[in-house]
Amino acid sequence: MLKGKLLENEPLAKYTSWRVGGPAEQMYLPEDRDDLICFMRSLSDQQAVYWIGLGSNLLVRDGGVKGVVINTRNRLKAMDLADVDKIYVEAGVPCAHVARFSVDLGLHGAEFLAGIPGTLGGALKMNAGAFGGETWNIVEAVEMVNQKGEVFKRSPSEFEVSYRSVKGHDDEWFLAAELKLNKHCEEGGLDKIKELLERRSLTQPTNKPTCGSVFKNPEGDHAARLIEQSGLKGHCIGGACVSQKHANFIENMGDAKASDIEQLIAYIQLQVMHQQGISLETEVCRVGEPK
């Protein structure tokens, strides 16, 4: 028997960091990992399934999402010491919590996760990174679940991992990961996290509704530099504006629609190509239907 909560026609704007997006046809809030697996087993093969954690790096279109959205935020939240130098973390745990948890255990190598504004599940999906660190550099193994509720343990060698990209097993979703860290006498782990967060606050609009970085950095360059050089800082379409603080961020000024953001993304790509001769590839994931 399912223990979680199934919501109908649930507005997604309140679950995304951009604060935009139409409703989910259905949203499931699992009680825990086992309940989620049971719910997956109840779905038909034809049911469209989407997952959401903290809702960063995600643009939900104004028409909403047909199918079921599984909300893992604060639900798949277990963290445990798996070995002397390994931790087990479920997909719904915010990355910042993983960074603090590892340091508290005297383990190092995950501090960079403090700069990623999402859950571990989202970080695994896109190989999220910050301050020179990347998620899959510390992954020892992952747990996956498919739409039949079958669970698999997989190694990094079963995926094609690159900059902001993870390919393989597209019919499965991340349940948890085992992270291999460094156990040695290194002082100042909490100070390092504090320093990273201060740097992030100084350089990024962390107090504004954004999705995080919108575009991937082209090889040997930075998307923010290209956008700024194209004179686009502060450029707005509707309620969406290129951040004055960091040009690779788009801010919701309070009344933006998903369509405003999507049009601004396209305009930035057009202008950067026209002025700089470089094609910017989006980092943000887009789901749903236009209104």
pLDDT of residue 154: 98
53-57, 189-193, 215-219, 246-250: segment of lowest average pLDDT: 189-193
pLDDT of residue 186: 61
**Can you name the CATH fold of 79-201?**
3.30.465
**In the predicted structure, residue 49 carries a pLDDT above the cut 70:** yes
All structural domains of the chain with their residue ranges: 5-71, 79-201, 205-287
Distance CA 48, CA 130 (A): 31
Task: Report strand pairing: 139-146 vs 250-252.
Answer: unpaired
Distance CA 194, CA 190 (A): 6
- Of 5, 10, 125, the C-alpha closest to 56 is 125
pLDDT digits (tens, 9 = 90+) for 141-178: 999 999 999 999 999 999 999 999 999 998 999 999 99
In the predicted model, what is the mean pLDDT of residues 41-52?
93
- What pTM does this model have? 0.92
pLDDT digits (tens, 9 = 90+) for 171-181: 999 999 999 99
pLDDT of residue 187: 64
- Of 135, 154, 157, the C-alpha closest to 144 is 154
Q: Could you give the 3-state DSSP secondary structure of residue 116?
A: coil
Check whether domain 205-287 has CATH 3.30.420.610, yes or no = no
pLDDT of residue 68: 97
- Give the residue ranges of DSSP H helices in the chain: 33-42, 95-104, 120-126, 189-203, 223-229, 258-276
Structure tokens of 59?
């643009």
The answer to whether the beta carbons of residues 98 and 89 sit under 8 Å apart is: yes
Distance CA 232, CA 268 (A): 7
pLDDT digits (tens, 9 = 90+) for 226-279: 999 999 999 999 999 999 999 999 999 999 999 999 999 999 999 999 999 999
**In the predicted structure, residue 45 carries a pLDDT above the cut 70:** yes
> How many Cα atoms are found within 13 Å in the side-chain-facing hemisphere of 208?
25
- Report CA-CA distances (Å) from 64 to 27, 55, 148, 256, 291: 12, 14, 25, 15, 8
- Report CA-CA distances (Å) from 94 to 43, 76, 78, 123, 257: 27, 10, 11, 9, 26
Distance CA 283, CA 23 (A): 23
**Positions marked catalytic:** 164, 213, 283
- Give the residue ranges of DSSP H helices in 51-181: 95-104, 120-126
pLDDT of residue 193: 87
pLDDT digits (tens, 9 = 90+) for 67-124: 999 999 889 999 999 999 999 999 999 999 999 999 999 999 999 999 999 999 999 9
Confidence of residue 185 (pLDDT cuts 50, 70, 90): low
Beta bridge partners of 241: 236, 251
Distance CA 168, CA 145 (A): 13
> How many Cα atoms are found within 13 Å in the side-chain-facing hemisphere of 175?
21
Give the amino acid at 172.
E
2-6, 98-102, 117-121, 130-134: segment of lowest average pLDDT: 130-134
Burial bucket for residue 253 (CB in 10 Å: 0-12, 13-18, 19+): middle
The reply to whether domains 5-71 and 79-201 share a CATH topology is no
**Region class of 264: left (phi > 0), else alpha (psi between -120 and 50), else beta:** alpha
**Can you name the CATH fold of 5-71?**
3.30.43
Over pLDDT 70: what percentage of the chain?
98
- Of 33, 10, 8, 14, the C-alpha closest to 23 is 10
- Give the residue ranges of DSSP H helices in 86-222: 95-104, 120-126, 189-203
pLDDT of residue 183: 85
